[in-house]
A and B are shown apart, each in its own frame.
Chain A
Amino acid sequence: MAFDQKYASYAVAAVAVAAIPLSFVGPEGLRLVVIGLFLLAGPGTALVMLLRFGSPDQVEKHSTLPLAIAIAVASSLALSTIVATAMVFARMWSPPVAVLLLSLITLGLLALGAKRSREALVGA
């Protein structure tokens, strides 16, 4: 599981980093796929990877997977919505800046998750 989580973290980080330049420039199709995927699940996946759902036993992990996916998607959508709405009301509308902000949040959450995993390993 730790192996999977490490590579999942790399994938989320890669999408978050790629989304930053693509929010300024790039082929339309590629921008839609990468940024669409990032706004749909990026920040939420980083958040879910930071959290510890229940006990680490395999049965519980399986039964919490739908909840983890649901929270990953819904929290990404909610966070993107809140950032976009705040920008509109603050009259500071800039989609690339919003993507940059969300990418930084995602990378920050991933870093926190990695630190927490390391601490857990040391504690064990």
Chain B
Amino acid sequence: MTPEPTPTAPPAPAPHRHAETKHGGTKHGDAKHSEIKHAETKHSSAKHGGTVPPAVVHHEPSPPWKLAALAALAATALALGIWSLLNVDPERIGGTGLIEALPPAFFVALALSLTGFVATLNLRRHTPALLAGQVLVMVVILHSADPIIHGLPRLEASYRHLGIADHIAKSGQLDPNLDAYFNWPGFFDFLGLVSGATGVKDLIGVATWAPLGINLLLLAPLLALATRITSQPRQAWAGVWIFFLTSWVGQDYLSPQAYAFLLLVTLLACVLSAFSGWAWPTGTNRFTASLARGVSKLDPTVPHQGMASPPPADAAVLVVVCAGFLVAMTASHQLTPFAVIPILAVFLLSGRLRLPFLPLLAVALPLAWLVFVASAYFEGHLSQLFGSFGDVQANTLGAVTQRVSGSDSHVLVVYIRLAEVAFVWILAALGAFMAHRRRTAWLTAALGAVAPLALIPGQPYGGELLLRLYMFSLPFAACLAVLTLIPDRNGTPGWRRALALLLLGSVLATATVVTRYGNDSMEKFTQDEVSLVNRLYATAPNGSILIEAIRNTPWQFQKYAEYDYRALLAAQPRTNPDPLTCDASNRIAQRSGAYLIVTTSQKRAADLLGTTPPGDLDHFIATCGTSPGWSKVFENAGGVVFHIKGAGNGI
């Protein structure tokens, strides 16, 4: 047995040291402010036993056999997890998604991985390298199922994104009138740069492995952020662990939102680390004094882990870096820059950000971009952008209600998603409440979790706003959730709490297997479908109209601007859906002809979401395929392509 850790004298009083760098200590001569700070420090650390300054805690090293056993456990979990995923039969993936096809070995691997993390967290000596290994193993098992099983990018949007990057790489041109993507092209410009500079014309491999890559890249910024908003490293690691266990929204594909989210988390970690503190002297007037008192009353601590304030020259460089993050984010994604605004605003108002111009810059950049750069989109979509402004019910309950429909199995998946979100939020609220009672750090995380909700009155963002808000708030909510189980002082959580954490992790991981991969039957694509699309591209002359029956086809990954792409129906739930008729396709093809593609994934999407009556696409093919002017061009296991003759030159 290793002895109990022995704290030695702390090197410096840490609470409020960031606030002191600009306005405190000898630099700031405000007596009232000093009084407030003095009172806070006394209040927090002495009277209420609040967060203890960061004592340098020396632990005996863990026995090598223990470390080796935990490393072996992680390696076993990794090998078993990958092996089990390689043995999944994709044909068994049904209405509730991947969980129907997963072998028991996958769950054993997941359990081993969770156990390994909790046991590592419970070692007497904090072991970051081993914790990182355990989290990475869990990320591979939980978030790389699609690339391992299917070997192709998931979601039809992945293929579209490749096409836009391909278009930019080849031409170096934007076509802002083609679609919204070209009005926020930053991420695609970057992909075009990668493609153009490496000579790799086909980035489909990058898109396939993007979910794993993006989650791995998120580990460092999430940990840096968690370190700033919790009281001790084990809480931070557990918060990151909970984040990955509950990150089911599936936005981690090769997408502008995944890229912008990475920048967002890094930006927030950076400002909380380097620029924490009040932006103004807190004793100069009644408002600032009462604001400081209110914040101090709610949470008398300032999380002290992480970076001390940098020297002035370095701070200036970091300000430029933060501005660069905002610029890159603004150029790449419509929504994320607007999510930054409320978060920075609440940090400013709670003494967690001492750069008042940063929130202003965060407001100015996306608005200026919308007006000056994305003007083509802005002018053409004013009603879409502002039509539902202030309609909170439509943007929340309306969007949720719209999603709770489709096949019975899909509705079950949606309900589990709602339950998981509610569970995380309840845990976060409980964690915030308990931390407030314990007088430990919670306010920064709570503010960060709640601030994105300010976007709700804006617009429904195509019905996806709530999903995105969950994603933006999750890094903070996850850190609050762990406060229910991980103690505030440095040291092991103890076996009771560790077991509770393991139980919690098991419940969340199992739920996430359902919620993350619940749409897998329609989000996965097969090589046959991609081959079908390639044959279509080889056959259809440039300028042709290409029609998909349901908007769920792995295409547009090349020749993005060369064809006129159309869809008969969006892949969305519809109440009492009408069957598809030949008329809609015939109307589109009336003038110059068209090619129509119907794929297996389209059929799955239609059945899963209830876009058409069950089995309607097969009926559509059987009836329309034999009608005058329709001819089957080719067919394989992935679907069928028809040519519909037009009245004109009949291409």
Contact = CB atoms under 8 A, between A and B. Distances in A.
B331 interface: yes
Interface of B: 11, 54, 56, 128, 168-169, 171-174, 185-187, 189-190, 192-200, 217, 219-221, 223-224, 227, 233, 259, 262-263, 265-267, 269-270, 273, 305-311, 314, 317-318, 321, 324-325, 327-328, 331-332
A71 B266 contact: yes
Contacts of A81: 186-187, 189-190, 328, 331-332
A36 B193 CA distance: 10
Nearest to A64: B307
Contacts of A66: 219-221, 223-224, 227, 269
Contacts, number: 166
Contacts of B192: 84, 88, 93, 95
A93 B187 CA distance: 15
Nearest to B191: A84
Interface string A59-82: 110111011011101110111111
A19 B168 CA distance: 21
A67 B224 contact: yes
Q: Indicate the member of A50, A66, A77 with the most B CB atoms within 10 Å.
A: A66
29 contacts: A23-B198, A39-B193, A51-B318, A52-B311, A59-B56, A63-B233, A66-B227, A67-B269, A67-B270, A70-B221, A71-B270, A73-B262, A74-B221, A74-B262, A78-B324, A79-B328, A80-B190, A81-B186, A81-B187, A81-B189, A81-B332, A84-B186, A85-B189, A88-B172, A88-B189, A88-B192, A89-B174, A94-B172, A96-B196
Shortest 7 CB-CB contacts between residues of A and residues of B: A93-B172, A95-B196, A78-B328, A70-B221, A74-B266, A84-B189, A67-B224
Contact of A85 (B185, B220, B223, B269): B185
A57 interface: yes
Contacts of A74: 221, 262-263, 266-267, 325
A87 B172 contact: yes
A16 interface: no
B56 A77 contact: no
Q: Is the interface of A mostly helix, strand, loop or mixed?
A: helix
B198 A79 contact: no
A85 B186 contact: yes
Contacts of B190: 39, 77, 80-81, 84
Interface of B is mostly: helix
* Interface size band for A: 35 or more
Given A28-B198, A84-B189, A51 B314 contact: yes
A79 B200 CA distance: 21
Nearest to B128: A62
Nearest to A78: B328
A51 B310 contact: yes
Contacts of B325: 74-75, 78
A99 interface: yes
Nearest to A80: B190
A22 B199 CA distance: 9
A31 to B, nearest CB: 4
A98 B197 contact: yes
Contacts of B311: 52
A24 to B, nearest CB: 9
B227 A54 contact: no
A22 B198 CA distance: 7
A85 B310 contact: no
A54 B194 CA distance: 34
Given A51-B317, A67-B306, A74-B262, A31 B197 contact: yes
A122 B310 CA distance: 21
